[in-house]
Amino acid sequence: MRDDIDLKYFKKHLEERLESITAEQERQKKGTAPVELDQARVGRLSRMDAMQQQAMSQAVARLTDQERQRILSALGRMVSGDYGYCVMCEDEIAEGRLRFDSSVLTCISCAKEADGK
């Protein structure tokens, strides 16, 4: 367990973001509803536009769910005492990096290596 970082700050930040994401996911459910294909009621271009909007909403929902999973994982690492340590090399993650993204899994060195840079 790291004692050089303010775990209460990071926990509060993660919980607030998780709450925000949960509320956003409830709002997004409307945008991912099936597109009606009744040509008598909706023109072809309108249906295509609706399908494009649906695809964009689904992509946003996937990204939001991934962020939600990262946050839940970070909160779990706090409970286990592993928060703030790189999951690849187990070195400490810099506090500045955690402040930028509190759910980050890797230190900057491992992140660069994973990106091939």
For residue 57, is pLDDT > 90?
Answer: no
Instruction: Give dist(CA 32, CA 38) in Å, integer.
Output: 18
- Is the four-CA dihedral 2, 4, 7, 13 of positive or negative sign? negative
For residue 58, is pLDDT > 90?
Answer: no
For residue 97, is pLDDT > 70?
Answer: yes
Instruction: Give dist(CA 63, CA 35) in Å, integer.
Output: 21
The pTM for the full model equals 0.76
Mean pLDDT, rounded, for 41-66: 80
pLDDT of 90:
96
For residue 38, is pLDDT > 90?
Answer: no
